[in-house]
Amino acid sequence: MKLLRYGPAGAEKPAIVAQDGTVRDLSGVIADFTGEVLSDAGLARLAAIELATLPQVSVDRIGACVPRPGKFICVGLNYADHAKETGKTPPEEPILFMKATSAVVGPNDDVEIPRGSKKADWEVELGVVIGTRAKYVSEADALNHVAGYCVVNDVSERAFQSERGGQWTKGKSHDTFGPTGPWLVTRDEVADPQNLALWLDVDGVRRQTGNTNTMIFGVAHLVSYISQFMTLEPGDVIATGTPPGVGMGIKPEPVFLKPGQVMTLGIEGLGEQRQQTVEARD
């Protein structure tokens, strides 16, 4: 299933994409994609619905495919080529950091360039949405705790991230720095999360091309690993790292975002995003 949320920011409704490409409203069946809805049983109930009985709707705006997650966990330097372009040694264990959940926006919403920003950057990433509670889960069982997958743009401000002291979080958490969606594609429709093509363009120029098969730590390992340190709850999102081609890695001079540019990005089978960069608002 392809699940999405549509409507004005803060008033999104749940919906599903039918086989014929039409969007069908789910708000008469569920309130939103939270808690029990993302469990295997909850998703099975949605899969059993005859979609032709649901209202067909037109969509002007797509929201983030899950409501604001309890946790937005990111994995750093999880592609060896990306680690190399940043001048870092590939890690021996996953590098974890948090992105503020207030950064989450829809896949086609504007992305703000923060005040004082000089090194705003892009990162296409595979997002993993947790469906059932995971604590101390084994790698063999880890994917059973996943509801599905989505596209994430882990927008970053490199100077805030690496030149202002402390952890990476403040370079990752500006409002709008977490476009998520368009869809949550349930795990039954993703045959192998370790074989998905990713890409990102800026102003029509291809900047990132990659495949999840070059991850250092795969999805099952990441879910299991993270669950050793914190309980993963339904609706939590894990952004699993980015392939090479980020702005900070461009030679001979890095290239960074400024207001008035357009990012387009996508992942095989999971849909596409499009964002325009704008000056930060109050």
- Taking only the tens place, the pLDDT of each residue in 232-247 is 999 999 999 999 999 9
Quick one: pLDDT at residue 89? 84
Phi, then psi, of 53 in degrees rounded to 5? -85, -10
Percent of the chain beyond pLDDT 70? 100
Confidence class for position 131, pLDDT limits 50, 70, 90:
very high
What is the DSSP pairing of strand 271-279 with strand 111-113? parallel
What pLDDT, in 10s, does the model give residues 245-262?
A: 999 999 999 999 999 999
Give Cα 15 distance to the centre of its chain.
Answer: 18
What pLDDT, in 10s, does the model give residues 207-224?
A: 999 999 999 999 999 999
Instruction: Classify 75 in phi/psi space as left (phi over 0), alpha (psi -120 to 50) or beta.
Output: beta
Whose CA is closest to 15, among 138, 184, 131?
A: 184
Q: Are 81 and 244 in contact (CB under 8 A)?
A: yes
Quick one: pLDDT at residue 165? 81
Whose CA is closest to 215, among 186, 193, 188, 248?
A: 193
Structure tokens at 197: 């093509």
Q: Which residues contact 275 (CB under 8 A, 6 or more apart)?
A: 107, 108, 109, 110, 111, 153, 179, 262, 263
Q: With 0.85 as the threshold, say if the pTM is over it.
A: yes
Say which residue the tokens 């339904």 belong to: 234
What is the DSSP pairing of strand 104-105 with strand 178-179? parallel
Quick one: pLDDT at residue 86? 78
Structure tokens at 67: 């409501």
- Indicate if the pLDDT at residue 82 is higher than 90: no
Q: Are 108 and 151 in contact (CB under 8 A)?
A: no
CA distance 153 to 273: 8
Q: Which domains does the chain have, with CATH numbers?
A: 2-57 (no CATH), 72-279 (3.90.850.10)
Give Cα 197 distance to the centre of its chain.
Answer: 15
What is the DSSP pairing of strand 120-121 with strand 56-57? unpaired
Mean pLDDT of 75-83: 88
Strand partners, 176: none
- Indicate if the pLDDT at residue 27 is higher than 90: yes
Structure tokens at 164: 């202002």
Mean pLDDT of 50-76: 96
Quick one: pLDDT at residue 103? 98
Averaged pLDDT of the chain: 96
Give Cα 146 distance to the centre of its chain.
Answer: 14
Strand partners, 3: 16, 184
CA distance 255 to 120: 9
